[in-house]
Structure 1
C-alpha cells in the first residue's frame, strides 16, 4: 500500500485515528478487525456496520432491493456508503447508503466500499446530509421526506427558510411538505403511495378538516391533474354543503301545544264584544285544525 493512499485513509478516519497510526490502529475499538488491507481497499465488513434508525428512509421496495442485490453480485458496489463511529453500540453507523447496505447483505457480500465522516460532525449536519443525499437520488417517498424535514426542524429549531437554505430547497417547498403532516392518515397514505401528488395534497390542507379525506379520494378516483384538482378543492372551500333547513312545524302541532293566555280588559269594551271576538277566534282555530 502506498504512503499517499495510507495517508488519505488516515485523514478520512479523523484525527483520533491519525494519532494511533503506525501499527497501533487495532488497539482502538473502532478498528478492531480493520486491517491495513481494508484501508487500502476502502471497505468495511458488513457485520461491523449498523443502520441509523433516524435516517429519513423508512420503507424499501423488496423487489427493487432484490434487483440491486443481483446487480451487486455481478458488478460490485460502485458507489461507497458513508459511515461514522457510534461509541454506544461500538459499531460504524451508516450516514447514507442504507439501501446499498441492505442489498449487499442480500447479495451475500462480506464487506462494502465506504468513506468516513469527520469525527466531530454534529447531528444537524448528519440529518442534512442524509436528506440531501436521498432527495438528490429521489429515493424518499413524499411522506418520508415530510417527516424527515419535521425531525430536522424539531432537532434544530430552525425556521422553514433556514432549513430550505441548508437543503437547497425553496422555502415554500419546505412549508408544503410540512403541511402534509396535518392531513388525515388516509390522505397521507395516498401521498406515500404516490397516488396523490404532494402539490395537490398541500392544496387539500386548505379545505375543512372534515372534507379532506373525501377530497383526496375523490381526486384520485377521478384522476384529476393539478389544475382540475385545485378547482375541485376551491369549489369545496367556497361552496360548502348547505345545512338542511329545519322544517316548519305544522299547524296541528302548534294547536296541540299548551299555552297561557292573559286577557287584559279594556274598560271601554263591553262584555258582549269580548265574548263575540273570543268565539270568532275559537271558530277559526277549529277550522284550521280540521284542515290539517
Structure 2
C-alpha cells in the first residue's frame, strides 16, 4: 500500500503490532454501497473544492491508495470505514461503484486511533478538530500527554497547547472551528485566565479584525494592568473578518495538480504561486513519512 508507512511507527505501537502497514497487504474491491462512514471520524468538515479535485484525479487515475475498513458486526456484507474518508467521499463524487480496500478486524479504540492519526499526520484537521481528536485518543488509551505525543509524532508542548484549546469558552471554540479566529488568536486568548475577559477580547478580534500580534499585545496589557486597553498604540483599522489569514485562491489548474499530488503522496502537499512561478511544498510529520517520500522518489539509501 503505497504511502502506508506514512502512518508512522506510532500506529504500530498503539495497535500492539497489528499488521496495518505491510508492504504487500491483501487488497480487495468492495462496493461503495456496502461501506458506512466511521462514526468516530475526527474530521467534521471537508473542503468541497478539495473533494472535487480529488474526484477528478480519481476519475483519471483511479484510487491510488486503498481505504481501510472493518467488518460490521451482524452484517454479512457490510463494512465500516476506518481510514480513508476523503477517498470514499471523492469516489462517490466520481460516481464509482467500487473501491479498493483492506479489511481488518479492529476494535472501536483502534478504529479511533487509525482515523485520528491518519488525519493528524496528513495535517487535514483544523485546530479544534485536532484538539478534540487528541483528547479522544488520550482518554481512549489512558495515555500521558508525553506518551500521546510520541504516538502521533508531535512534541509534548504541541500536544499540550492543542489540548488547552478545549479550555476556552464554547463560543470561542465554535468561532475557532468556523475559522472566525485562528489558532494563534486562540492561544493568545488562553493567556487570559478570566473567561469574561477572554470573551471580551474575542469580541474585539471578530469586530475589529485584530491580528494575532495585536491580540497578544492586548492580552499582555491585561496581565500587567488587569484591564484590556481601549486601543492599541496607533490606530487599529477595522479589517474584514478573517482577512489576516486569507490567501489568494490557487488557480484551478494548479488546484487540480495539488489534489492529484495529495492523493499520490502520504504527506501534505501544498502549491503556491501561479502557472508561471510558484512553489511545491511537501510536509512530513515523522521519520517514517520522510522515508516514504524518499522511497517514492527512488532516493532511499542502498
TM-score, normalised to structure 2, is 0.60
Query: 1:16-51 deviations in whole A, cap 9, x for unaligned?
Result: xxxxxxxxxxxxxxxxxxxxxxx9973211111111
Q: 2:21 aligns to what?
A: none
**Is 1:46 paired with 2:39?**
no
Q: 2:161 aligns with which of 165, 171, 176?
A: 176
Q: Does 2:80 match 1:111?
A: no
Report the CA distance between 1:102 and its aligned residue: 1.1
1:230 aligns with 2:216: yes
By how many angstroms is 1:172 displaced?
A: 1.6
Count of equivalent residues:
201
For 2:174, the equivalent position in structure 1 comes to 189
1:58 matched to 2:41: no
| In structure 2, distance between residues paired with 1:60 and 1:198 | 18
CA contact (8 A) 1:83 1:96 kept: yes
Aligned equivalents of 2:73, 2:41: Cα separation in 1: 18
Match of 2:149 among 148, 164, 187: 164
Which one scores higher on RCO, CA 8 angstroms, separation ≥ 6? 2
Map of 1:141 onto structure 2: 126
Structure number having the greater helix percentage: 1
**Pairwise CA RMSD of aligned residues?**
2.5
Q: Aligned partners of 2:74 and 2:216: how far apart in 1?
A: 50
Q: Shift of residue 195 of structure 1? A: 4.4
* Equivalent of residue 115 in structure 2, options 108, 111, 130: 130
Q: Does 1:100 align with 2:93?
A: no
What do residues 94-147 of structure 1 show as CA deviations (whole Å, max 9, x unaligned)? 111111111111221010122233x2x444333222222112222112111111
CA distance in 2 between partners of 1:41 and 1:147 (Å): 31
Q: Deviations over 1:71-108 (max 9, x none)?
A: 32222212221112221455211111111111111221
Contact 1:81 1:115 in 2 (8 A): yes
Contact 1:204 1:216 in 2 (8 A): yes
Structure 2, unaligned stretches of length 5 or more? Answer: 1-24, 229-302
From 65, 71, 82, the equivalent of 1:79 is 65
1:265-284 alignment to 2 at 5 Å? none
Larger Cα-atom Rg: 1
Alignment partner, residue 274 of structure 1? none
* Residue number in structure 1 paired with 2:200: 214
Runs of 4+ that moved beyond 4 A:
none
| Structure 2 Cα separation of the partners of residues 108 and 154 of structure 1 | 38
Match of 1:30 in 2: none
**TM-score normalised by length of structure 1:** 0.61
